């Protein structure tokens, strides 16, 4: 797979670190993004010095159309996360 095709399948999810700080909350975020299609990779990086989440997740979908669908609505609400931390921003990876 070439780099252009791979990038088209990846979306970036920005979230509040207060809202997604535990494994259970991460699983709720994963469950939300799975609604758009088959997720082949879900990565929530941590700051190398503090080990805190960075407030971003990288989601790779099996199909480009699923990534496009996920990113079609930039601002989304994740069920199961507390207000106001349940708001996320989804954009295609550049």
Residue-wise pLDDT tens digits, 34-77 = 999 999 999 999 999 999 899 999 999 999 999 999 999 999 99
Q: How far apart are the first and last CA of the chain?
A: 17
pLDDT of residue 77: 95
**Total domain count for the chain?**
1
HEC sequence for 19-58: CCCCHHHHHHHHHHHHCCCCEEEEECCECCCCCCECCEEE
Beta strands across the sheet bearing 87-92 = 39-43, 56-61, 10-14, 87-92, 75-77
Residue-wise pLDDT tens digits, 10-31 = 999 999 988 888 889 999 999 9
Q: Which domain holds residue 67?
A: 3-92
Beta bridge partners of 59: 11, 42
Beta bridge partners of 92: 11
Q: What's 48's domain CATH number? A: 3.30.70.330
């Amino acid at each position: 797979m070439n780099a252009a095709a791979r990038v088209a399948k990846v979306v970036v999810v920005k979230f509040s670190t207060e809202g997604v700080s535990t494994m259970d909350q991460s699983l709720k975020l994963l469950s939300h993004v799975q609604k758009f299609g088959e997720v082949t990779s879900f990565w929530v990086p941590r700051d190398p010095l503090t080990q805190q989440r960075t407030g971003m997740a990288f989601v790779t979908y099996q199909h480009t159309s699923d990534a496009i669908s996920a990113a079609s609505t930039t601002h989304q609400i994740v069920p199961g996360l507390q207000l106001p931390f349940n708001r996320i921003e989804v954009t295609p990876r550049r």
